[in-house]
A = this chain, B = another copy of it.
Amino acid sequence: MVPHGDPTRNTIEELSQLLSPGDVVIDGGNSHFADDQRHAELLTRVGVHYLDCGVSGGVWGAERGYGLMVGGAADVVERCLAIFDALRPPGERADGFVHAGGVGAGHYAKMVHNGIEYGLMQAYGEGYELLQASPVVEDVAGCLRAWTQGTVVRSWLLELLVEALHQTPNLAGISDYATDSGEGRWALIEGIQQAVPMPVLAAALHARFASRQEVSPALQAVAALRDQFGGHGTGPSPAR
């Protein structure tokens, strides 16, 4: 598990000179699936096997087990099953592990997983904000908590949001600056290249981009246009 891009590439190149034929390299980081093809080719030339493994679970995985998505040759996956079984959640293997396909399929699946994650998080965020804005709801945190059992929207992310609100009532002082680690971008770009409509992922990703802007040139243009045709005036906002 090495940061994707150059660090992973350099590590693979180094390993290609150190390992012996029949050895296996498992990239458990967040490489782009196109890199996997290159890394596998590089290692194959020296007889080393390659698996790509998407890993989900965050800081909680150490305790509960990690969801694993693996790409590569079936016999190599088979050979490494004991490793995957040790890392994945207990219970049926298929509930926390998949051999998704050939080289790259593991990281592809992880990329899609993360793309979904963006949409889920933004959906909960929007609902939380609408509750906050409600003229009638008084117990916002209580509503979210009441959804954790029995309801259609129950999920682990919802439980985490309930926990966050318990730790920091009203999320007071928490910045709305939302970074992104890159996999959501890859998922949207891949969607574009496959002509898959992903309006929810796009909306969620763009909301994060916007959250990080000190000033939005696009909205400056909108405000300037309103002034041009309507004489609405522009100037420092009252709020920011």
User: CA–CA, A197 to B199, complex, Å?
Assistant: 12
- A18 CB within 8 Å of chain B: no
User: CA–CA, A95 to B96, complex, Å?
Assistant: 26
- Considering only CB atoms and an 8 Å cut-off, how many residues of chain A contact the other chain? 141
- A44 CB within 8 Å of chain B: no
Question: When the two chains form their complex, are residues A177 and B209 in contact, meaning their CB atoms are under 8 A apart?
Answer: no
Across the two chains, which residue of chain B brings its CB closest to A168? Answer: B224
A-B contact pairs, 10 of them (CB 8 A): A60-B229, A68-B146, A100-B139, A112-B131, A121-B221, A129-B216, A132-B217, A174-B223, A195-B212, A212-B237
- Chain A residues with a Cβ under 8 A of chain B: 33, 56-61, 64-69, 71, 88-89, 91, 94-105, 108-109, 112-134, 136-139, 142-143, 145-158, 160-161, 163-165, 168, 171, 174-179, 185, 187-232, 234-240
